[in-house]
Structure 1
Amino acid sequence: MCGIAGIFDLNGRRPIDRACLEGMNATQFHRGPDEGGIHLEPGVGLAHRRLSIIDLKGGQQPLFNEDGSVVVTYNGEIYNFPELTHELQRAGHRFRTHCDTEVIVHAWEEWGEDCVQRFRGMFAFALWDRHTQTLFLARDRLGIKPLYYSELPDGQLIFGSELKVLLAHPGQTRELDPCAVEEYFAYGYVPEPRSILSGVHKLPPGHTLSVRRNQRSAASPRAYWDVPFATAAPIGMSEAAEELTERLREAVRIRMVAEVPLGAFLSGGVDSSAVVAMMAGLSSEPVRTCSIGFADPAYDESRYAREVAERYATDHHNREVDPDDFALLERLGDLYDEPFADSSALPTYRVCEQARRQVVVALSGDGGDETLAGYRRYRHHLAEERLRNPLPLGLRRVLFGSLAQVYPKADWAPRPLRARATFQALARDAVEGYFQGVSVLRDEQRSTLFSSAFRRELQGYGAVEVLRAHAGRAPTDDPLSLVQYLDLKTYLPGDILTKVDRASMAHSLEVRVPLLDHPLVEWASTLAPELKLRDGEGKAVLKKAMEPYLPHSILYRRKRGFAVPLANWFRGPLREVMHERVLGEQMRDSGLFDERTLRRLVDEHGRGARDHSAALWSLMMFQTFLDKVQPTSPRSGCVLPGA
């Protein structure tokens, strides 16, 4: 993996400050410790940090075409580059290296902006074409690799792999986007295309951005791909399982090309175990596998990883981590730049740290839950939809909304016994119902959390609009497919892939994700929903496909993710730290929060009256962000996503 950065003068050919560009690039040294490169010409500056994986001697960047008129800085892997190289050579292009980077400049010459349609892999790149005076930015289809950009008041466009790259430019303001704050406390991350800062954007997955010299402002991103969810010829479970196995095997095979040590994460879950099983069948040497375990059995799943490792005789490395491993709190602020409330970032950091001791490239099982419907919340959503569907929305809002008002709140009770929550869910439409199910803090909780002054800044904006915007563009209205689509557009790139990218890059580790091979994702989206979620069993077709390869104890056990004991931490070893951060001067002076609500959350959790660990963790991560970035006050008003 690598890091990219750049400065482009939208209005002319003003000289680019080399020291400024070098400073931006230096902030992402961890993404590419092997080499660094800079290209400057009037009005254009491109920078690169390299983690060498393929063509170790010949893949330096920025990289040029034959006459030097096209130059690229690139982060990622294009797995079909050998085939594209041959095709482009037959078309007359001359190659000087054996790396996938050079494919990009020649593909641009041959196919222009449509070149991204030919790439199979993960990527974020910036390409400058001197002949057409065009800067072209692109991000892969699923958002595996990140790309931030910002248009400065002086007419410069700056970009980079992480937000810290942009913050190193003296012209980048640090004004909070109030809508992004609302979205963060709803989702636990800031979904694309926003960032936490006003004017800084993330290029959405499956989009490109093309800007030309002397444009008044940057153009809008253009979508070049979407998950189809198109109806295909129906196939049965056995046939689908057989085809899935072959597609997964191919996706794994093309991701095993590397000139450095390669291995895999192995958690003992279905997805990572399936990837390791395919790798073992494709490798003549034992697969290197890495996992972490916990001394506390309540959090430890290492025995399942060992079971798979023993079955395939892998070179397995397990590291036991103390479940009270909260020493990384400060580090998370440096890693994520934006506030990021997924507490599994802590064990993810540790497993990447463990893997880097053995390998430079690791394959992971990320993406299986979104692609093949593995989350338990999908079952809950479909159950609610079956209850909602018999009655029209208008009637449900009146009937169940009224019942929700008179029933007591019972968040402490098991889900089936929370009558008020159930009535509230039935009074909503499908998108709003799903939004409330995935929210870290629900609407009423965020309303009481924010100060009255900040609520006025929001001007009525609600984070549900992120999902509504995606649902409006969704190519399906099937209840299961729709929420999969929403997760593929939000949770996958905003949480899962962000978490892994920053944690792995902190250790200069490249992570590849076979289950997000886009032909596999496209094919899986066309499968009948009942092949993915059958009789309450998520990822049914994957589990059926893996029955010859993995034991029943791996395939059909209850799903568990990385977990950390937040509730216990905040009543024990982190009690004072949490108290100081949540109720400290910085949070108070921000003007964003209602002080009485903050004190209530801390007090109720400390007494054991309520579990507010998710809210308190979100607040702590937000305070860490404030402390690291020191933003100015929010700008006035909100702009809807995509506006």
Structure 2
Amino acid sequence: MCGIAGIFHLETAKPVDPARVQGMIDAMPHRGPDGTGVWTAPGVGLGHCRLSIIDLAGGAQPMANQDASLIVTYNGEIYNFAEVRAELVALGHKFRTTGDTEVILHAYRQWGEACVERFNGMFAFALYDVATQSLWLVRDRLGVKPLYYAQVSDGSVIFGSELKALLAHPLLRRAPDLSAVEDYIALGYVPDDACIVAGVKKLGAGEHLRLVRGRALASPKRWWDVSFADRSTAKPTTLAEELVALMRDAVKLRMVADVPLGAFLSGGVDSSSVVAMMAEQSPRAVKTCTIGFDVESLDERGYADHVARRFATDHRTRIVSPDDYGLLDRIVGHFDEPFADASALPTYRVCELAREEVTVALSGDGADEAFAGYRRHLFQHRGEGLRSLLPQGLRGPLFGALGRAYPKADWAPRFLRAKSTFQELAISGGEAYARAVGFTTPELRARLYGAEFARSISGHRAEDRIVAAMDAAPARDPLDRAQYADLKIWLPGDILTKTDRMSMAVSLEAREPLLDYRLVEFAARLPVSQRIHGNTGKYLMKRAMEPHLPHNILYRGKMGFVTPIAQWFRAALADEAAAVADGSMLARTGWFDRTTMAKLAQDHKAGRADHGRLLWQLLVLDKSLARLFG
């Protein structure tokens, strides 16, 4: 795992100052504490900082092939590199190193851009081709590894693993993109098709971009997509066997490392399944770690301990409490862009705990998106069934009226909170799902935004990208469309961003075996009944893991990695919430209505409403703005 950065002049081959590339790399030392490297030639400069995982002695970058006609800087892991390397050796290629970086160079020489289709891994890389005077930027299928880029005033394109690498370049203009602020307030993160700094872009998951000297900056192209259009006709028992075999191989590939390796263990289905597969294939006790909370209803340590005892792991735990709020400034600095998922805090703590003993940790990320494990998938599935019974002309007025009449009851048990359900049944499935996956509703944002800010975003609405993704999905069923949108927007924008930044913050490599693209493609072909069955999500996965995990782990209610911020903002952090509305940088922007912000904090503290997530969101945005534009 590493950090990459570079500069490419599109118009002419102007000299590139190595110190400028080094400065971009030096902005993210946490991504590569084991060494740095810079390579320059007329019109191009590539930089690299290294966290050594495989081929500790021979994997220094940027790396050139034997005749120096190809040079690569690369972040990530190609898990099947040994298989690809063997194929290349059989074709006559000769290798000087034993790692995966050189495999990229030889694979590109052999197959051109099609080489990336042979790689099973997480990666973002830049490969310079001397013969064509072009730079090829590539991001892995599901967006595990990030890549930012921007064109600056001297005509060059700059790129890096993190936004802070681009911010280190003196020609990057710092100005906020207000549409991205709307995206952040709506979704809780800035998605991959936007950036909080105007003019900066992110290469999307499964995309590549070729920069060619003498040509204008082109648009990225997609090299991989997942399709839900086909259905497997295999029997459930056969599907379960195939799933376990795929999971076992995905975990095995990700256990290859020349450094200590362990796993995150929450006690949920996903991380427990990964640990079960690891224990089966490891000659020694798997090192596992768990984070708990000082709020009993959110604490999963007991379940994690159960799994740890079952597989005799070397297990350690740590507690997250309101005192850990002091980490927020550090966490905000690692994300660069505002990021409101409060589970970033315990994710940082579990990565920190893991890094004390290992350099690589396997996680359970991705199974909920691939196999339909979120509650919102179940609600969407049921909701679409109800929508199909009534035409929109009847459904809209009926449920719209019920939604307006029913009281909002954040304090009530979930089954009594019918207001949002009625509101969602009154609109299309795509609109309803976009609301379900978001942080705030359009109605709340309309109250929150100042008049000038609302005019400045010119009708831009964050939910529209989700509706568009669902409409364009290669799919057969509304559940397919919801999952497709998750894989394209939510997964890379929230889940994988969180895991990448928090693991890299402590120089830990996180690997996601349940996001092996073969597993994702397998899951997309499953009949809906094998994803959701009755009230059970991830149905096939749970059935398949019954021989490996106890029933109370597989079928307990989903908790998620939830931080108790609502409780914190009524106690230890109440003053922090109130301060956001008065005197903060966010208040000084004039974007949001101060009276509304103050009332949100007051109502939350008094227990009249639950605005914990929104208050956290505003607090994070305030700190991010101060870092980026203060």
Q: Same fold (TM over 0.5)?
A: yes
What is the deviation of 1:403? 4.4
User: Contact 2:263/2:362 (CA < 8 Å) preserved in 1?
Assistant: yes
Cα distance, 1:578–1:59 mapped onto 2, change above 3 Å: same
Paired residues for 1:439-458 under 5 Å: 439-458=438-457
Contact 1:253 1:279 in 2 (8 A): yes
2:570 corresponds in structure 1 to 571
Q: Distance in 2 between matches of 1:272 and 1:418?
A: 31
Which residue of structure 2 lines up, in the alignment, with residue 640 of structure 1? none
Amino acid at match of 1:60: A
**Where do 1:128-143 residues align within 5 Å?**
128-143=128-143
Write the mapping of 1:607-622 to structure 2, written as runs, cut at 5 A.
607-622=606-621
2:372 alignment partner in structure 1: 373
Q: Name the counterpart of 2:160.
A: 160
Q: Deviation at 1:394?
A: 3.9
How far apart, in 2, do the equivalents of 1:418 and 1:82 lie?
Answer: 53
Measured in 2, the distance between the counterparts of 1:564 and 1:399 equals: 37
CA contact (8 A) 1:324 1:565 kept: no
Q: Does 1:286 align with 2:276?
A: no
Tell me what 1:120 maps to. Answer: 120
Deviation at 1:169, TM superposition (A): 0.7
The letter for the 2-side match of 1:200 is: V
Question: Residue 193 of structure 1: CA displacement?
Answer: 1.8
Residue in 2 that maps onto 1:393 = 392
TM-score by length of 2: 0.97
SS in 1 for 2:166: helix
Q: What secondary structure sits across from 1:49 in the alignment?
A: strand
Q: Which residue of 2 aligns with 1:147?
A: 147
SS for the counterpart of 1:238 is helix
Q: CA deviation at 1:528?
A: 0.6
CA distance in 2 between counterparts of 1:108 and 1:122 reads 17
Matches within 5 A, 1:181-192: 181-192=181-192
The CA deviation at 1:296 is 3.8
Q: Are 1:219 and 2:218 counterparts?
A: yes
Q: Is the 8 A contact 2:322 2:568 kept in 1?
A: no
Q: Distance in 2 between matches of 1:104 and 1:330?
A: 37
Is 1:306 aligned to 2:297, yes or no? no
Separation in 2 of the partners of 1:474 and 1:565? 35
Q: Which amino acid aligns with 1:68?
A: A
2:66 aligned residue: 66
Q: Please list, as runs of the form range in 1=range in 2, the aligned pairs for 1:429-508 lying within 5 A after superposition.
A: 429-508=428-507
Structure 2: 5+ residue stretches without partners: none
Q: Which amino acid aligns with 1:94?
A: K
CA shift, 1:467, in A, is 0.6
Change (3 A) 1:154 1:397: farther
Which secondary structure state, in structure 2, belongs to the residue aligned with residue 325 of structure 1? Answer: helix
Q: Could you say which residue in structure 2 is the equivalent of 1:268? A: 267
Structure 1 residues 288 and 418: alpha-carbon distance in aligned structure 2, compared to 1, 3 A threshold: closer
The percent of aligned pairs where both chains have the same amino acid is 54
CA contact 1:35–1:49 (8 Å) conserved in 2: yes
Quote how far apart the aligned CAs of 1:231 are: 1.8
Provide the rounded CA distance (Å) in 1 between the counterparts of 2:383 and 2:580: 38
Residues 592-623 of structure 1, C-alpha deviations (whole Å, 9 max, x = no match): 11122112112211222111111111100100
Change (3 A) 1:328 1:2: same
Q: Tell me what 1:544 maps to.
A: 543
Moved more, 3-12 or 410-419: 410-419
* Residue ranges of structure 1 left out of the alignment (5+ in a row): 632-643
Deviations 1:420-451 (A, max 9, x none): 42332122111100111122110100111111
Q: Which residue of 2 aligns with 1:638?
A: none
1:519 to partner: Cα distance? 0.9
- SS of the residue aligned with 2:48? strand
Check the 8 A contact 2:75/2:124 in 1, yes or no: yes
Alpha-carbon distance, 1:415 to partner: 4.3
* Equivalent position of 2:629 in the other structure: 630
Could you tell me how far 1:232 is from its partner in structure 2? 3.3
Deviation at 1:412, TM superposition (A): 4.0
User: Secondary structure of the residue that 2:325 maps to in structure 1?
Assistant: coil
Q: Say whether the 8 Å CA contact 1:323–1:564 is kept in structure 2.
A: no
Distance in 2 (CA, whole Å) between partners of 1:67 and 1:561 is 51
Match of residue 174 from structure 2:
174
Whether the aligned pair in 1 keeps the contact of 2:12 and 2:214 (CA below 8 Å) is yes
Task: Spell out the pairing of 1:326-341 with structure 2 (5 A cutoff).
Answer: 326-341=325-340
Q: Aligned partners of 2:290 and 2:213: how far apart in 1?
A: 49
Tell me the residue number matched to 1:48: 48
1:305-344 CA-partner distances (Å, limit 9, x unpaired): 1111111111112223335521211112111000000000
Partner of 2:352: 353
Conservation of the 8 A alpha-carbon contact between 1:265 and 1:363: yes
Matching of residue 554 in structure 1 with residue 553 in structure 2? yes
1:240-251 mapped onto 2 (5 Å cutoff) = 240-251=239-250
C-alpha distance in 1 between matches for 2:406 and 2:333: 44
The residue type equivalent to 1:29 in the other structure is P
AA in 2 matched with 1:181: V
- 1:400 is displaced (CA, Å) by 3.2
Contact 1:66–1:94 (Cα < 8 Å) also in 2? no
**Structure 2 residue identity aligned to 1:600:** K
1:344 corresponds to: 343
Residue in 2 that maps onto 1:428:
427
Other-structure match for 2:89? 89
Secondary structure of the 2:484 match is helix
The equivalent of 1:316 in structure 2 is: 315
Instruction: Summarize the alignment of residues 24-35 of structure 1 with structure 2, pairs less than 5 Å apart.
Output: 24-35=24-35
TM-superposed deviation, 1:589:
2.0
Q: How many angstroms does 1:402 deviate by?
A: 4.3
> What SS does the aligned partner of 1:87 have?
helix
CA contact (8 A) 2:434 2:467 kept: no
Q: Which amino acid aligns with 1:138?
A: V
User: Counterparts of 1:586-601 in structure 2 under 5 Å?
Assistant: 586-601=585-600
Instruction: Return the letter of the residue paired with 2:111.
Output: W
Cα distance in structure 2, aligned partners of 1:584 and 1:234: 61
Cα distance in 2, alignment partners of residues 313 and 436 from structure 1: 42
Name the residue aligned to 1:522.
521
Q: Secondary structure at the match of 2:123?
A: strand
1-structure distance, mates of 2:466, 2:294: 39
The count of residues paired between Structure 1 and Structure 2 equals: 630
Q: Which amino acid aligns with 2:288?
A: T
Q: In the TM superposition, what is the alpha-carbon distance from 1:210 to its structure 2 partner? A: 0.6
Matching residue's letter, 2:120: R
Between 1:256-265 and 1:600-609, the stretch displaced more is 600-609
Q: Does residue 254 of the first structure (1) align with residue 261 of the second (2)? A: no
Distance 2:198 2:273 in 1: 41
Shift of 1:411: 4.1
CA distance in 2, matches of 1:582, 1:56: 50
> Which residue of structure 2 aligns with residue 228 of structure 1?
227
Q: Is the 8 A contact 1:582 1:619 kept in 2?
A: no
